[in-house]
Structure 1
Amino acid sequence: MAVPEVLDRIPLLSGAPRTVEALPGGMTNHTYKVTTPGGAYVVRVWTGDDWLLGIDRDAEHAASLAAAAAGVGAPVHAYLPELGALVVGFLPGRTFTRADLRDPANLPRVVRACRRLHAGPRFVRDFDIFGLQRHYLGIVRERGYRLPPKYLDFMPIAAQIQKCLELRAEGTVPCHNDLLPGNILDDGRDLRLIDYEYAGNNDPCFELGSLANECGLPPDGLERLVTAYYGRRLRHKIARTRLLGLIARYVWTLWASIQDGANDSIDFDFWSWGTARYEQAVAEFAGSGLESLMEEAVRAD
Structure 2
Amino acid sequence: MIRIADDIGAETRDEIHQVIDELALAELEGGLSIERLHGGGSNQNFVIDTDTGQFVLRLAGTMTERFGLDRVVGVQGHRNAVTAGVAPRLCGAVMPAAHLVVPFVEGRVLDAEVLAEPGVLECCIGLLSRLHHAEPVDGTFSIFDDARRYLSIASAENLTLPNDLNDLVAQLDSAERVFAGVQAPAVLAHNDLQLQNFIVAPDRAWLLDYEYAAMANPYLDLAMLLCYGDVPPARRAAALAAYFGTVRETDLARVELMYLAATMREAIWSVVAEPVNTETGFDYQGWAHRFFGRARTQVDSDQFIHALAIARPAADDAVTFANARRIAERLAPPPSERSS
Q: Same fold (TM over 0.5)?
A: yes
Structure of greater relative contact order (alpha carbons < 8 Å, 6+ residues apart):
2
Q: CA deviation at 1:9?
A: 3.8
1:253/1:274 contact within 8 Å kept: yes
Partner of 1:213: 227
What does 1:116-265 correspond to in 2, within 5 Å?
Answer: 116-265=130-279
The answer for the alignment partner of 1:10 in structure 2 is 23
Are residue 284 (structure 1) and residue 294 (structure 2) matched?
no
Aligned counterparts of 1:153 and 1:106: Cα–Cα separation in 2: 36
CA contact (8 A) 1:8 1:14 kept: no
What is the RMSD computed on CA atoms of the aligned residues? Answer: 2.0
Q: Which amino acid counterpart does residue 147 of structure 1 have in structure 2?
A: L
Q: Which of 57, 60, 76 pairs up with 1:46?
A: 60
Consecutive unaligned residues in structure 2, runs of 5 or more: 1-10, 317-340
1:208–1:225 CA contact under 8 A, matched in 2: no
Cα distance, 1:239 vs structure 2: 0.6
Deviation at 1:149, TM superposition (A): 2.1
Quote the offset at 1:229 in angstroms: 1.8
Bigger drift between 196-205 and 280-289 goes to: 280-289
Task: Output the CA distance in 2 between the equivalents of 1:106 and 1:292.
Answer: 29
Q: 1:235-293 deviations in whole A, cap 9, x for unaligned?
A: 11111111001111112111010122222111121111121111111122233343321
Q: Is the 8 A contact 1:70 1:120 kept in 2?
A: yes
Residue 78 of structure 2 aligns to a residue whose secondary structure is helix
Select which of 82, 86, 91 maps to 1:72.
86
Determine helix, strand or coil for the equivalent of 1:272.
helix
- Determine what percentage of the aligned residue pairs are the same residue: 25
Distance 1:102 1:149 in 2: 36
Q: What's the TM-score, normalizing by structure 1?
A: 0.92
- How far did 1:177 drift? 1.7
Distance 2:189 2:117 in 1: 23
**TM-fit CA distance, 1:38:** 4.8
* Inter-partner Cα distance in structure 1 for 2:165 and 2:250: 27
CA contact (8 A) 2:253 2:310 kept: yes
Paired with 2:256 and 2:31, the residues of 1 have a C-alpha distance of 50
The size of the alignment, in residue pairs, is: 301
Compute the TM-score of the two structures, normalised by the length of structure 2: 0.82
